[in-house]
Amino acid sequence: MEKDKEIERSIIKKFRKQIWSRFVKAVQEYELIQENDKIMVCVSGGKDSFLLAKCIQELERHSKIPFEACYVVMDPGYNEKNRQHILEMAKVLNVPIQMFQSDIFDIVASIETSPCYLCARMRRGYLYSKAKELGCNKIALGHHFDDVIETTLLSMFYGSEIKTMMPKLHSDHFEGLELIRPLYLVKEEDILSWKKYNELTFINCACRFTESCAINDDGTSKRLEMKKLIQNLRKINKNVDYNIFKALDNVNLNCVLGIKKEGTYHSFLEEYEKKK
């Protein structure tokens, strides 16, 4: 059996429960894909986005709902080694990628404050523009379950608010475009197991500036800090990540001090006096 076929088979057989079933559940539960959608699948070169591409490919072949997908790599200024590795992995996995260039790394190199924030915003803008150019109505990103939990804790610990990474979002600046996250329920440990099982190697982070972005005094990123915290909490309660996730789907508005809706803050006191 050819390598790409073995990899595809592993997703729907060996890792059916851990990856394929959770991928399909997210697509169905959050209504991520509808009939006649044209989806631009964003491939960064890492394990998550390449797995996403394979799952979308498999769904496109066998889904009863007709939709179209295209697989796009935005090159923000990768070095030649990383660029070639992405192209090679696309061949191994049989993912028909389109690569387009941008000058994001060159622009961000001159920014001293919040380069990661600017880079993320520019990447998003380029991707939305490319999706429009290709006639797509949706953009699929490879964020997974652990990204959701880490984002939630980062918002609480460093942003003083409770919010999370949503399974889908309407674009504020590009009318008719929607962002979806089909790996929303897939755990990172299972993606790593899939990668190891198939003996695959992907680029981790090809950013030139990672070492100077969002770094704590001890030299670790805040997201890595959250990842390690969750790992430690799992030793006490193995379901702690699931419980955090479920809490976001089970908010008791009778027992919170305040909420923000459409940018406006509402205190519990607004309703409290009405109950006298």
Local mean pLDDT, 10-residue blocks, the chain (276 residues) = 89 97 98 97 94 97 93 84 91 93 66 63 82 95 96 94 95 90 97 96 65 41 91 95 96 93 92 79
| pLDDT value of residue 3 | 86
* Amino acid making up residue 233: L
Span between the terminal Cα atoms of the chain, in Å = 72
Residue 230 lies in a domain: no
CA gap 136, 241 in Å, rounded: 34
| pLDDT value of residue 218 | 40
Residue 245 lies in a domain: no
Residue 203 lies in a domain: yes
Whether 100 and 75 have beta carbons less than 8 Å apart is answered as yes
Q: Give the chain's domain count.
A: 1
Question: What is the signed CA dihedral for 127, 128, 133, 139, rounded to 10 degrees?
Answer: 80
We report the CATH number of the domain holding residue 201 as 3.40.50.620
Residue 105, domain extent: 3-209
| pLDDT value of residue 217 | 41
Q: Which tokens sit at 131?
A: 């999706």
Name the residue among 209, 9, 192 with its Cα closest to residue 106: 209
CA gap 110, 11 in Å, rounded: 42
Residue 263 lies in a domain: no
Residue 195 lies in a domain: yes
